[in-house]
Structure 1
Amino acid sequence: MKIIANLLVSLVVAIALAAIAILSVQNATPVSLKLLVFQSIQIPVGVILAFSAGVGLLGGALAPLFLQNDNRQTRSQSDRLENEDDF
């Protein structure tokens, strides 16, 4: 079952990268990003998409590590409270 999950994840990432490549070739015009009063320099759309995809992949890979750590702490605290009630 884990092999199928890994295959599906790899397939989704490959399709997303192919879509980014096709879109970046078709849209080579430079754009700038604006956030409130801040504005970036003008860079091609493909660079922005590739950077965003990379940040998203890293964030998705690191998120379970942080969530798993929080669950362990919560579980250990609830176990301590249950053990204290036994006395």
Structure 2
Amino acid sequence: MKSIANLIACLILAVWALAIALFSVQNATPVSLKLLGFESIQMPVGVVLAFSGGIGVMLGAIALPVFSRSHRQLEDIE
């Protein structure tokens, strides 16, 4: 069962990478992000999407053990 989950995760990751590649090829115009008065350098949309996705994956990987640990501690208290 674990191998099927790994296969599905790899397929989702491959489709996501393909979608970013296609989107970045079709939208090569540079964009800049603005947040609270700060503005980033201009870079292609695909690069922005790749960084955003990578940061999201890293934050999710960090948050998963933190939340599962606190959930286990709550179960132990009860």
Q: TM-score, normalised by structure 1?
A: 0.78
Supply the distance in 1 between the matched residues of 2:16 and 2:61 (Cα, whole angstroms): 16
Bigger Cα displacement from structure 2, 31-40 vs 18-27? 31-40
Q: Could you tell me which residue of structure 2 aligns to residue 10 of structure 1? A: 10
The aligned length equals 78
* CA RMSD across the alignment: 1.4
Question: Aligned-pair distance for 1:38?
Answer: 2.3
Give the gaps of 5 or more residues in structure 1.
Answer: 79-87
Secondary structure of the corresponding residue to residue 28 of structure 2: coil
Percent of residue pairs bearing the same amino acid type: 55
Supply the distance in 2 between the matched residues of 1:60 and 1:13 (Cα, whole angstroms): 15
Supply the distance in 2 between the matched residues of 1:60 and 1:8 (Cα, whole angstroms): 18
Question: Aligned-pair distance for 1:23?
Answer: 1.0
Runs of 4+ in 1 over 3 A off after TM superposition: none
Q: Could you tell me which residue of structure 2 aligns to residue 83 of structure 1? A: none
Q: Could you tell me which residue of structure 2 aligns to residue 27 of structure 1? A: 27
The higher relative CO (CA closer than 8 Å, separation ≥ 6) is in 2
**1:9-49 CA deviation, whole Å, 9 max, x = no partner?**
11111100111011111211110112232221211112101
Q: Could you tell me which residue of structure 1 aligns to residue 56 of structure 2? A: 56
